[in-house]
Chains A and B, each alone.
Chain A
C-alpha cells in the first residue's frame, strides 16, 4: 500500500482531482464554522464573548499537534524506507504546522489577557507549545541548511523524531502540573464536558482546518515535485550537451601530454 502511494506520478494524478474537492469543502466548512462561531454560538456565562476565540484557538492547537505527528511519521518513513514522497510530504507539511502553532500561541495570548490578566505565563502547556513552534522552525531551517537535499532531509527527520517526545508533554501537561491553562474539555477519557451548542461549531472549524491542511499539503507537494522535475530536466539537458567548447579547450590545454 505504501509502495503504491509512494509513486510521485500517481500522486500527481490523484491530487489533481482531490485538491479542488478538498479545497472547496474546506471553504464551505470554514464559512459555516465562522457563521456559527461568531453569530449562532452563545456567549459563555463566565467568559462572555471572549469564548469565541476558542473556535480558532482550539482547532489550531489540534492541527499544530496533528501536523507535527504527520511530519514525524513521514520523516520515519523517509528515513527507514526511503520513499520518495515521504520526505516531500514532511517538508511540505512543516510550514503549515508552524503556521497553526503560531495561530494557537497568538490567539491563546489574546484570550489569556482578558481572562487571566496576562498576555503570557510560563506555565507547562504554553511553554511546551512554544517549544513545538521552535521545533517546527528548527526542522524548516535544518532541511534547508544543506546543499545536498537528501542530507538535509535525513537531519530534519532525526530532529522531527526526537521532537515527538514533546507531544505527550503538551497533551498531559495540564494533568501532570498545576497550570493556569484549563484541562481538556473535548478530547478526554470521560467524554466532552463542553455544551453541544459550542461543540458543534468547534468541530466544524476543526474539520475546515483539517481540510485546509490537506489542500495546502497537496498543493505544496505538487510544487516540490514540479521543482524537482525541472531540476532533473536541467541536469539531464546539461549532461546531454556535454562539456562546453571553452571548458573543453581549457581542460584539454591543462591535460595535454607534451
Chain B
C-alpha cells in the first residue's frame, strides 16, 4: 500500500514537474477565486452599509 502511494507520488521519476504543474494551476485558479469571492463579499457589505446610511438619513 505504502509502496503504491510512493510510486504514485513519484510519477515515474517526474514528480517535480507533474506536481508543480498541478500546484501552479490550482494555486492560480484558487487564488483568483478567493480574491474574487472576497471582493464580492466586500461589495455586498459596502452596498448594504451605504443603503442603510441613506435610508437612515431620509
Contacts and interface: CB of A to CB of B under 8 A. Distances in A.
Contact of A230 (B12, B25, B46): B46
Interface stretch (A66-74, A147-155, A168-176, A214-222): A214-222
Contact of A60 (B25, B36, B51): B25
Contacts, number: 89
B37 A50 contact: no
Interface size classification for chain B: 20 to 34
A49 B12 contact: yes
A99 B28 contact: yes
Interface of B: 8, 11-14, 17-18, 20-22, 24-25, 28-29, 32-33, 36-37, 39-40, 43-44, 46-47, 50-51, 54
A91 interface: no
Contacts of A220: 36, 39-40
A229 B33 CA distance: 22
B14 A229 contact: no
Pairs A-B, 10 closest by C-beta atoms: A226-B43, A49-B12, A49-B11, A107-B21, A56-B25, A48-B12, A53-B21, A223-B40, A110-B21, A50-B14
A52 to B, nearest CB: 5
Given A103-B25, A113-B17, A52 B43 contact: no
Interface in A36-64: 38-39, 43, 48-50, 52-53, 56-57, 60
A103 B46 contact: no
A222 B46 CA distance: 13
